[in-house]
């Protein structure tokens, strides 16, 4: 129950005195005062929620920043490993070319030695024939 003291509602300056439910004297209408208190409470709650949201946003930023740094480290490590594999592959190709070159040289040498062996076998055979002819003719 609110009791109004003072001039009627058509007061040009709008000032009145009120007595609220617990018999306190007020300058402001208690319903407006209650709405003001409720609004203040809602504003405080909103402010707390906003602070919580801000903290959550900061925490998310820190976590995502840390995660991004970890991802970047792993990316660089993967690139390094990939480069090592490419280097090893190139080294193996170079070694393979060296080995193929050595095989080719050895094959050429083998063919040369086979030809020389055949030539020496012919000479031996001819000399053996000459020796046999010489022994037969004596």
pLDDT for residue 104: 97
N-term to C-term CA, the chain: 163
pLDDT in tens, 101-127: 999 999 999 999 999 999 999 999 999
Q: Average pLDDT in the 22-30 region?
A: 75
Separation CA 44–CA 53 (nearest Å): 14
**Range with the poorest average pLDDT among 20-24, 66-70, 104-108:** 20-24
- Residue 100 pLDDT > 70: yes
Rounded CA separation 110/107 (Å): 5
Burial of 121 (0-12, 13-18, 19+ CB in 10 A): exposed
Q: How many CB atoms lie within 10 A of CB 18?
A: 19
Q: What is the pLDDT of residues 50-59, one digit of tens each?
A: 999 999 999 9
The answer for residues whose C-beta is within 8 angstroms of residue 17's C-beta and 6 or more apart is 4, 5, 6, 25, 26, 27
Higher pLDDT, 47 or 26: 47
Q: Would you give the DSSP letter of residue 5?
A: E
Q: Say what the pTM is.
A: 0.49
- Residue 3 confidence (pLDDT): 55
Share of the chain above pLDDT 90, in %: 70
Domain boundaries of the chain, sorted by first residue: 30-122
Predicted pLDDT at 7: 53
- Report the phi/psi class of residue 23: left, alpha or beta, with left for phi > 0 and alpha for psi in -120 to 50: left
More confident residue, 4 or 31: 31
Supply φ then ψ for residue 7, to 5 degrees.
-65, 160
C-alpha Rg value of the chain to the nearest Å: 54
């Amino acid at each position: 129950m609110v009791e109004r003291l003072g001039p009627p509602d058509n007061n040009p300056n709008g000032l009145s005195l009120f007595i609220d439910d617990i018999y306190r004297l007020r300058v402001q209408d208690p319903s407006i005062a209650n709405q003001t208190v409720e609004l203040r409470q809602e504003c405080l709650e909103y402010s707390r929620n906003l602070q919580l949201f801000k903290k959550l946003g900061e925490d998310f930023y820190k976590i995502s920043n840390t995660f991004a740094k970890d991802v970047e480290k792993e990316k660089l490590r993967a690139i390094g490993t990939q480069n090592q594999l490419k280097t090893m592959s190139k080294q193996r190709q170079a070694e393979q070319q060296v080995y193929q070159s050595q095989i080719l040289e050895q094959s050429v040498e083998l063919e040369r030695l086979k030809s020389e062996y055949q030539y020496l076998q012919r000479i031996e055979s001819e000399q053996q024939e000459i020796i046999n002819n010489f022994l037969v003719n004596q």
